[in-house]
Amino acid sequence: MATLFVNSVESYAGKTAICIGLAAMLAKAGLSVGYMKPIGSGTVTVGNVLADDDAIFAKRMLDLDDPTEDICPIVLTQEMREKALQEGLDKSEALVAAHQRASKKHDVLVMEGIGNLATGYIIGLPPARIAKLTDAVVITVTRYKRELSAEDILFAKDIFCERLGGVIINHCPESERTLKRNRLAGHFLPREGVRLLGILPVDPLLNAITVGELTSLLGGRVLCRPEKEGELVETFSIGAMTADSALRYFLRSPNKAVITGGDRSEIQLAALQTSTKAIILTGNLYPAAIVLARADELGVPVILVPWDTRTTVEKVEQALGRIRLSTPRQVERVKDLIEQEVNLAALRGILKV
């Protein structure tokens, strides 16, 4: 079995999405593909067991029947960290065992790294060691930062040496995806001998959060159009200005959620006149009936939240930097993008499958 280890120098580079996409592409090519996140964070429970939500999501999206404890063999808990600090800890056995079980079932195992390249040391499993123990080919994902991305790629090369099979550049603006404009792809990567497997574009859909997630994140109450909870919000605007400037400002952001007070009818109407997926009313202030009627008519959910505007914005901002794939629509988009943009032949070449 070939093992593909996908990781990134910085967190939130899009690893989960790319793992799902790569696994789906390889499976489509007729291979039996497994998925594993060797180290996960215990943010959800399955039965009575702590599990990693990315891993659970990937398992579901890839329709895998492997047991959860094989999909995510090591869940990094607080207890584990305490123990590690007191007496030292090496979890490599758990990893190797799970990897062996997977190797009997699949032709390829796609393995997702946790966080950034500094994660895993505490339990004796730094990324380079994981790669070595599983004899993996490494792909590093970098979120495009123009010339500055070169540093990330060189850092990954330094850590993984000859195991580094290639790089996927994620979140690259359309205008810079062509080789002519992209200096990383044009001269730098060939000279450094790092294979470019693909450049993925910025895709608003993948950076979106559903109205439902937003509602539960904010502990809000939906006043109209509850059936629109699956709609995707791409950006947020705060409505605290005059109606004229609100309109100009709102025009700039498509598929947005507008955060404003319940008493700001003119802001709510300005939001309804532009591309808006949800209106979030802060401070539990109920809107004017006639405005609510208008939102209902236009099919825009209105969400009442108990927080003041500042707190609401803080909560939303926190969530924004760490948007995860959450809808089948997004997963389909990821699969399409990977299929279009990632060189399958090159990938099979480096995996030797």
By CB under 8 A, the count of residues binding other proteins is 40
> What residues pair up with 49 in beta bridges, in sequence order?
46
Distance from C-alpha of 122 to C-alpha of 278, rounded to nearest angstrom: 42
Residue 297 engages other proteins in binding (rule: CB under 8 A): yes
User: Are 4 and 22 within 8 A, CB to CB?
Assistant: yes
- Alpha carbons within 13 angstroms on the beta-carbon side of residue 61 total 28
By CB under 8 A, name the one of 47, 63, 191, 290 that touches other proteins: 290
Please identify, using beta-carbon distances, which residue of 44 and 202 lies nearer to other proteins: 202
Sorted by sequence, the CB contacts under 8 Å of residue 352 that are 6+ apart come out as 2
In whole angstroms, the minimum distance from the beta carbon of 226 to other proteins comes to: 12
Residue 81 engages other proteins in binding (rule: CB under 8 A): no
CB atoms within 10 A of CB 301: 26
Distances (CA, A) of 209 to 86, 183, 234: 40, 32, 7
Main-chain dihedrals φ then ψ at residue 51, nearest 5 degrees: -145, 165
Residue 204 engages other proteins in binding (rule: CB under 8 A): yes
Segment interacting with other proteins (CB under 8 A) among 42-50, 186-194, 246-254, 317-325: 246-254
Residue 186 engages other proteins in binding (rule: CB under 8 A): no
Residue 145 engages other proteins in binding (rule: CB under 8 A): yes
Sorted by sequence, the CB contacts under 8 Å of residue 173 that are 6+ apart come out as 144, 201, 202
By CB under 8 A, name the one of 81, 132, 187, 252 that touches other proteins: 252
Segment interacting with other proteins (CB under 8 A) among 114-122, 209-217, 241-249, 304-312: 241-249
In whole angstroms, the minimum distance from the beta carbon of 272 to other proteins comes to: 8
Segment interacting with other proteins (CB under 8 A) among 17-25, 119-127, 132-140, 261-269: 261-269
Distance from C-alpha of 300 to C-alpha of 271, rounded to nearest angstrom: 10
Which residues of the chain form contacts with other proteins (CB under 8 A)? Answer: 145-146, 148, 173-176, 181, 202, 204, 224, 242-244, 247-248, 251-255, 263-266, 268-270, 273-275, 288-294, 296-297
